[in-house]
Amino acid sequence: MAMVDAEAIVKELRETYASGKTKNYEWRVSQLKALLKIAEHHEKEIVDALNSDLSKPELESFVHEISMMKTSCKHALKELKRWMKPEKVKTSLTTFPSSAEIVPEPLGVVLVISAWNYPFLLSLDPVIGAIAAGNAVVLKPSEIAPATSSVLAKLLGEYMDVTAVRVVEGAIPETTALLEQKWDKIFYTGNGKVGRIVMTAAAKHLTPVVLELGGKSPAVVDSNINLKVAVRRIIAGKWGCNNGQACISPDYIITTKENVPKLLDAMKFELEKFYGKDPLKSGDLSRIVNANHFHRLSKLLDENKVVDKVVHGGQRDENNLKIAPTILLDVPEDALIMKEEIFGPLLPILTVNKVEDSIHFINAREKPLAAYLFTSNKKLEEEFVRNISAGGLLINDTTLHLAISSLPFGGVGESGMGSYHGRFSFEAFSHKKAVLRRSFGGDVPARYPPYTPEKVRFLKALLNGNILGLIRALLGW
């Protein structure tokens, strides 16, 4: 795609937006229904693409991507009228008589840059919000998941109104060309390094951004809990989510020294039950997305500091880009594996003397996208919720907060800015416009010059909310 194409696409979308078509309730509904049809009529194609890109198990493809996207679509269709309705708000004595409302309006022409790990869901979920809010939108899927990218381009080209919704495929040159255009909002899912590039490009045009980033999401495991259930839920959130290639996967575990042996035994036992004695042969684990990421993860594992810390797993098959679920114990804090988001099947366990120390450990680092706590201790739970700053918290499970449409999903600090899901998706792509209405009656002469002492007395009483003073000023006392 040449530079002029990006410019031409934005120009065409601007014309469509200017025509007012996308603001229309019926248009928004028709496009949301078209997205729903894509998921319903092409499930096999989507599952095949995800398998080709990531060897993603069919169950994960359906539950985590297709089904979640459909739920999101249906929710938007059901709530759209309510979201679009202006919200009446109170006015004050100062503007009496008057009425006021907040009117949501679309931002205009928006850009969605998606990620490769959930390439179907993370492409279309923000698009649902952009369309629901009445914008024209360009979607740039990730080239690292080429099969899904091409299915998205084909299906959106067939089902959607291409004068307002476009897919642009390609790699860095195409993304760069898109980022040079003026957008009304940019929604980016990915890592902090590219997030900074996106934000820098957006700054040139004062374009607002939503950055959905990642981070090292901790899972704190207390003692005296149902260890079997806790371990199964940690495994589901780590290896059962794209083999750890998920932004809200538990990145490391913190537990007490005395709790480690029991925790490790339980994890090894459940892992073998889930993925067999030779996990590299399991059809229920995604592969590493590409050779670059395989080598990046291998580098973390092969660092001198951690090479002897592997207590489970560690098998690799470079030809098939497979890495088995791997647990490391007591890795040094300055190891590479503790310095960057792992985004793969490696899970370090760190130990503390008492479980409360984990709070200080987490807070001494960048704010994560998610933080998980397994405990039956209410006091610890309250302390955790009060003191841990993260995009989202989940007590006694992992990753499921993502599925609740009434909760905002997004990061804080290094893990991102802005949020979406449910109504928050609509709001992410809307501007809340303030509208105040007055009649020609009720005109207060005290507003206008000349500013006499009586007028000053009257206005002071009015603005201070002094009723007695107001009466006296009106009576001229």
Tell me the catalytic residues.
212, 247
The whole-angstrom separation of Cα 252 and Cα 371 is 10
Residue 373, beta-bridge partner list: 220, 395
The whole-angstrom separation of Cα 97 and Cα 93 is 8
The whole-angstrom separation of Cα 71 and Cα 63 is 11
C-alpha dihedral (373, 376, 380, 385), degrees to nearest 10: 50
Torsions phi, psi for 255 (to 5 deg): -145, 175
The whole-angstrom separation of Cα 74 and Cα 62 is 16
Q: Among 86, 110, 81, 83, which Cα is nearest to 99's?
A: 86
**Structure-token pair, residue 103:** 């009117």
Q: Among 8, 24, 39, 20, which Cα is nearest to 138's?
A: 8
